[in-house]
Amino acid sequence: MRHAFITGIPTAGKSHLAKKISESLGMSFIKIDDWRDELQRDPILKEWVDFFRNKNEEEYWQITSPDQEWEDLRNQSEALWPAILKKIKETQYLDRPTIFEGVNILPHLAHRDLDFPGIVMLGDSFEVVLERNKQEPRWGSTDELIRKEAEAFWNWERPRYAAEAGKYGFKVFSDPSAAEKELTILLTV
């Protein structure tokens, strides 16, 4: 058994899958978002941890293109990555198989710096993405903004995660059952 990661769009079911597999295989599960409070204490990283939340969301969706939103996510991920990678490496030294989950584990970063496999989850339908975002809004404070955010996840981020995953050789999944099978294989071979 070894380590693995799950990345992809918010609301794709990454945390649910990571928890399910970690429990069935007796592994640790680390949600990268759980490190945000610690990262936020660093004055340089604080700006990046809160990058989206510090913006006027309504204005952001009006003036931001899909390419710019992806660039913002890439910039945030790359700024946070050295601290995230350090914590991943510290966890690896504990010699306990672990599943790491988070949107900021972008495929190009994982390819460059991680020595273990992973998968990319893209969500199974827009309706499911929207419903999950309504249940646990990532940013939105109104129904309209929650919908815009879900649309960005589905229409803007989803194809970009898929393209980057393909470029770096990571499998992508819309079907949670198929993702579970693949991740189980990666962790038990």
Half-sphere exposure of 177 (CA within 13 A, CB side): 0
Residue 31 has pLDDT above 60, yes or no: yes
* In the predicted structure, residue 1 carries a pLDDT above the cut 80: no
| CB burial of residue 175 (10 Å; 0-12, 13-18, 19+) | exposed
The token duo for 181 is 């099978």
64-97 pLDDT, tens digit each: 999 999 999 999 999 999 999 999 999 988 888 9
Provide the pLDDT confidence category of residue 154 given band limits of 50, 70 and 90: very high
Let me know: does 36 contact 83? Beta carbons within 8 Å. Answer: no
* Mean pLDDT calculated for residue range 11-30: 95
Would you tell me which CATH number, out of the four given (1.10.10.10, 3.40.50.740, 3.40.50.300, 3.40.50.2000), belongs to the domain 4-188? 3.40.50.300
- Closest C-alpha among 27, 45, 24 to residue 36: 45
- How far, in Å, CA of 186 to CA of 189, rounded? 6
Query: Nearest Cα to 101, choosing from 19, 32, 21, 1?
Result: 32
- pTM of the full predicted structure? 0.95
- Please check the confidence at residue 185 and state whether its pLDDT lies above 80: yes
Per-position b or e across 149-166, b if 16+ CB within 10 A of its CB: bbebbbebbbebbbebbe
For residues 152-167, give the mean pLDDT: 98
24-41 mean pLDDT: 93
108-145 pLDDT, tens digit each: 999 999 999 999 999 999 999 999 999 998 888 899 99
Interval 22-47 mean pLDDT: 93
